[in-house]
Homo-oligomer: A and B are copies of this chain.
């Protein structure tokens, strides 16, 4: 693990002081901001803990792009192939954003705050600049801004009990990918049933960075009886669970259909958006490759920092984009884009982790399980 040089440009979050106090061991950088990626425990210990207990994650790097104004809904619909016309206030919608060639620019969650005010909770690319460019170019009546909002995720099966005790029983009524409100230090704060794990949980979209340490402390303190631990998106859990990462599994080289996002894409011509013609053509032809799980043998694999070729009979039929050892399945697990002829579950493949480091692998469905 190589060092990360700090500067103002790589922004600290409202929780960084607490994260450092509790012994963070490593960071990543997302949206020009620190994302804690390791604590004193191993990724394997964190994995088991996340599946059983509750964790507190600093995911402030999920920046909010606020789009507000009379033309806000028009701009958002232009940006995504997902039909957002039926979205209600209080909904969280996963909205792929694509370019004119249907290449993925980002895959945020859209929060509808009112009929003319939305947040895009973004992955790692400057959607703010893209939205601003579109609005300026088209002369739309919107304001595009980044509000002082920093999500704190609480994830794991004990989350609901913890947060209900802390903020009130009403949070139990918030549905999956819906948001409600809690009171904290005399402020209203948005809370959504969402998060970057398959273990259940909520994300508190803290407005007002000065409240960061207080919110962290409140959750941490209430979490003591639930065996709370600091954590972060867990690579083992997200790979097994089929949660994809923008920049890893998808870039502008990928369209949303090959990421299996067909249910978030309107291709019947009923709505218009950037990239519609390209996406309709891809839908008509059928995708030639699609994302799949993979398991492969051998020792725990190295870090996947460049795509690894996947071959059958010496011919490349796909690429692994994320991989790690699973202590539960007792093999390596990965996510890979696989050519159509080889994407059926059970297909045997060869994984090329590095030159000369070849492993026997098997294509799997998500969530990855071994029968």
Contacts and interface: CB of A to CB of B under 8 A. Distances in A.
Interface of A: 1-10, 12, 24-29, 32, 37-38, 99-100, 105, 124-127, 129-140, 245-248, 274, 303-307, 321-322
The 6 closest A-B pairs by CB, nearest first: A137-B137, A133-B133, A9-B247, A3-B26, A126-B126, A4-B4
21 contacts: A2-B3, A2-B26, A3-B26, A4-B29, A5-B27, A5-B28, A7-B247, A7-B248, A8-B306, A8-B307, A10-B28, A10-B247, A32-B124, A32-B247, A99-B132, A126-B129, A127-B129, A129-B133, A131-B133, A136-B137, A137-B140
B3 A38 contact: yes
B129 A12 contact: no
A127 B124 CA distance: 14
Contacts of A8: 247-248, 304-307, 321-322
Contacts of A9: 124, 245-248
Contact of A4 (B7, B28, B100): B28
Given A27-B5, A305-B8, A130 B138 contact: no
B306 A12 contact: yes
The winner among A2, A246, A305, A306 for most chain B CB atoms within 10 A is A2
Given A99-B132, A137-B136, A1 B5 contact: yes
A81 to B, nearest CB: 15
A196 to B, nearest CB: 14
Given A246-B9, A274-B136, A4 B26 contact: yes
Given A9-B246, A137-B138, 18 more contacts: A1-B3, A1-B6, A2-B24, A7-B28, A7-B322, A8-B305, A8-B321, A9-B124, A10-B305, A12-B306, A100-B136, A105-B129, A126-B130, A127-B129, A129-B133, A130-B133, A132-B133, A134-B137
A39 B214 CA distance: 39
A239 to B, nearest CB: 12
Nearest to A133: B133
A23 to B, nearest CB: 11
A2 B29 CA distance: 12
A27 B4 contact: yes
A307 B2 CA distance: 25
Interface hub of A8, A126, A127, A247 (most chain B Cβ within 10 A):
A8
Contacts of A29: 4, 10, 29
Nearest to A274: B136
A193 to B, nearest CB: 26
A133 B124 contact: no
A136 B134 contact: yes
A302 to B, nearest CB: 10
A140 to B, nearest CB: 8
